[in-house]
Amino acid sequence: MDQIIGRKEIQFDWAKFNWIGTPEQYDYVFIMRGDSPYKSIDDIRKATEPPKCGAPGTGSHFYQIPKLMEETLAAKFFIVTGYQGATDVDVAIERGEMHCRTVTVTAYFGREPFLTWGKNRFVRPLVQTGRKPSPSLPDVPTIYELMNRYKTPEVGRRLATLILAPGEFGRPMVAPPGVPAERVKILREALNKTFRDPEFLAETKKRGWPVGPVAGEELESLAKEVIAQPPEVVQRLKKLLGE
């Protein structure tokens, strides 16, 4: 995103890296305090007073996903930045200072405080960011479904592709620009073999680590798609990031 909006600190070209692969992709879920009056995105769109979401800063998904929903779904949020980290946002939600935040689907179903929050219905999941609903959240609409419902224009959809791209890249392994193609091929094949290795898969299962690998060729294609944005999308991104 920094490269797309032209920040001078960026001294690299994102599209020229060699993508080896990622062990997983991840999606986010936007959660709201269960005792709040906001039961759906429709409620937020119609609210006279927007819900308060906490965030460490503008570079985090805490900030960017609510702002994306403002840009694409006409939902309004009051985002409070400056929290030291995710734990401080969680405490603010428990105190009633904040209503909402985003979290990865994996974390929501995998660790505290979300396990207790979900069990006690302290929070309610309202939107998920995957292109398809998570099997664990079958009744929670995706942002793509909502964009179809509210007839979001193409520029907004491209902005969504850009903002949500980190989850599609997952936790990628890359090599620098200029690595010979044959060497990149070897690295990709080695990583793919690792992801299929029975001993490796048994160990990840024991540790509770999700494995849903995506090949380097697919990530390479996605990287080129993400970086090639028309001027109107760049301007919308600058607005979203507060430039």
162 and 233 Cβ atoms separated by less than 8 Å: yes
pLDDT in tens, 62-117: 999 999 999 999 999 999 999 999 999 999 999 999 999 999 998 999 889 999 99
Four-CA torsion 49, 52, 58, 61, nearest 10 degrees: -120
- This prediction has a pTM of 0.83
Give the pair of three-digit tokens for residue 237: 């991104």
- The full set of domains in the chain, from first to last, is 14-24+170-240 (no CATH), 28-128+130-163 (3.40.190.10)
Mean pLDDT of 40-54: 96
Estimate the crossing angle of helix 154-163 against helix 216-227, to 10 degrees.
130
The pLDDT tens digits of the residues spanning 154-202 come to 999 999 988 998 888 999 999 999 999 999 999 999 999 999 999 999 9
